[in-house]
Amino acid sequence: MNQTRLIPRVLQEKVIQAPQDKALVLFGARQTGKTTLLRQMFDTPRTRWFSGDEVADVALLTGLTSRADLQVLLSGLDVMVIDEAQRVPGIGLLLKRIVDAQTGCRVVATGSSSLELAGGVMESAAGRLWQEYIWPISVQELAREQSWIDVVSNLPMHLVYGLYPYVVREPRFAMKTLQDLTASVLFKDIFALSGIRRHDKFEHLVKLLAYNIGSLVSCDALARETGLSALTVAHYITLLEQSFIIKSLSSYSQNLGNELKKSKKIYFCDLGIRNAVLGNFQPYSARNDAERGALWENFFVMERVKMRSYDESGAQLFFWRNKEKNEVDLIELMPNGSMNAFECKVKDEKATAPAAFLRLYPDCVFHVATLQNFYRYFVSPNVSAGR
């Protein structure tokens, strides 16, 4: 593979098809390829770029308050891109003004966190925004660029170093790239926009979550470990999810008494970031069984999250566990009422669904995803849709 070649992203077609009369807001963690994608698509003289990280750009943008000014200043542009828009004060009202001015200039905003954009911005710009999400490279994107044989063969490396675009393109620099990203960039918006003061306790919490990927999370237990209040722990977990660092799944229940209703499981959106947080880049084969199983579950669940985010199938993702500790790793509930159930196993392809689960959901399609067969669940529409 040519390591300098950019991997085509699934999201490109969705950006092309997005309504032209709305502000397109492209969410995703820093370094997941938002800016690269947009520069590929809008590399024209009549595109103007702004960045929320640049003081001069922020000053110019916050001064655009009148419809007349917008119509004059934007009349000669085809596209206006506002990168890291969550750092521009009043960005919601600004996007609303630009759309309402009807200048003929398409506006695209990116956000590496939804700390601001998912809060007051949505109310400020109600009806004017079109949201899309970009994740680290997906196995589907990787297979299109390489092959499924390559993806399966390189899976142990991806389970350690993850799938950030630069890591995939330049694997020889993977460890340093992830260490630098985690140390200097990843939590930038959380610290800057959320008012977090005790960085040491916050970072302790992140490490605890990294140690416990795929396990049930108790805010009370995490509070005891970190010295934070349970409410603060819950708030920090929300901030981490809004910044696309972690993904939480709730337990699936139809209000049956012996099923858990409020439990959550936490996964890292990228395993390279997870391993960088812990400072552990030990090869996958050298890890113990529990660690290998946790990494594999995190990987598979997040690949399904990416796929469902891009395919707009409307699937809702959960896990299932009852009070007797019977568990299914991943449940996908489709809009038509059908269900997929996935158990993530490193090797055991012959695992079966818990009897208690099958009694409750006899029509659910049950799958066992292993390191050897996982590609089936990303290439077959019938398997993916649970039909």
Q: Are 158 and 271 in contact (CB under 8 A)?
A: yes
* Residue keyed to tokens 């024209």: 44
pLDDT reported for residue 350: 79
Q: How far apart are CA 333 and CA 120, in angstroms?
A: 30
Domain end marker among 133, 150, 167 = 133
Residue-number span of the structural domain to which 49 is assigned: 11-133
Q: Which three-class secondary structure state does DSSP give residue 63?
A: coil
Residue 372 lies in a domain: yes
Q: What contacts 24+ positions apart, CB below 8 Å, involve 167-174? A: 167/272, 168/7, 168/137, 168/142, 169/3, 169/4, 169/5, 169/6, 169/7, 170/3, 171/3, 174/272
pLDDT per residue, tens digit, the chain (387 aa), is: 344 568 999 999 999 999 989 999 999 988 999 999 999 999 889 999 999 989 999 999 999 888 888 888 888 899 999 998 888 888 888 999 999 988 889 999 998 876 555 556 667 787 899 989 999 999 999 999 999 999 999 999 999 999 999 999 999 999 999 999 998 777 777 787 677 877 889 999 999 999 999 999 889 999 999 999 999 999 899 889 988 999 999 999 766 555 556 678 999 999 999 999 999 999 999 999 999 999 999 999 999 999 999 998 899 999 999 888 899 999 999 999 999 999 999 987 778 889 999 999 999 999 999 999 999 999 865 565 444
Q: Which three-class secondary structure state does DSSP give residue 111?
A: strand
118 and 162 both lie in a single domain: no
Q: Are 233 and 266 in contact (CB under 8 A)?
A: no
Task: Read off the pLDDT of residues 291-346 as tens digits, 9 standing for 90 and up.
Answer: 999 999 999 999 999 999 999 889 999 999 988 889 999 999 999 999 999 999 99
- 228's tokens: 């934070």
71 and 176 both lie in a single domain: no
pLDDT reported for residue 385: 43
154 and 76 both lie in a single domain: no
305 and 213 both lie in a single domain: yes
Residue 220 lies in a domain: yes
Residue 3 lies in a domain: no
Residue 244 lies in a domain: yes
322 and 208 both lie in a single domain: yes
Domain end marker among 133, 162, 182 = 133
Task: Read off the pLDDT of residues 114-159 as tens digits, 9 standing for 90 and up.
Answer: 655 555 666 778 789 998 999 999 999 999 999 999 999 999 999 9
Total structural domains in the chain? Answer: 2
156 and 274 both lie in a single domain: yes
CATH classification of the domain holding 336: 1.10.10.10
Residue 1 lies in a domain: no
206 and 334 both lie in a single domain: yes
CATH classification of the domain holding 55: 3.40.50.300
pLDDT reported for residue 386: 44
**Nearest of 307, 285, 306 to residue 296 by alpha carbon:** 285
126 and 270 both lie in a single domain: no
Cα separation values, 155 from 51, 143, 195, 277, 296, Å: 35, 12, 38, 20, 10
Beta strands at 327-333 and 339-344: parallel, antiparallel or unpaired:
antiparallel
Q: Are 278 and 243 in contact (CB under 8 A)?
A: no
214 and 341 both lie in a single domain: yes
Helix then strand then coil, in percent of the chain rounded to 5, is 45, 15, 35
Domain end marker among 133, 163, 186 = 133
118 and 150 both lie in a single domain: no
pLDDT reported for residue 3: 43
123 and 158 both lie in a single domain: no
Residue 207 lies in a domain: yes
pLDDT reported for residue 184: 78
User: Across-strand partners of 73?
Assistant: none
222 and 292 both lie in a single domain: yes
Residue 105 lies in a domain: yes
Residue 6 lies in a domain: no
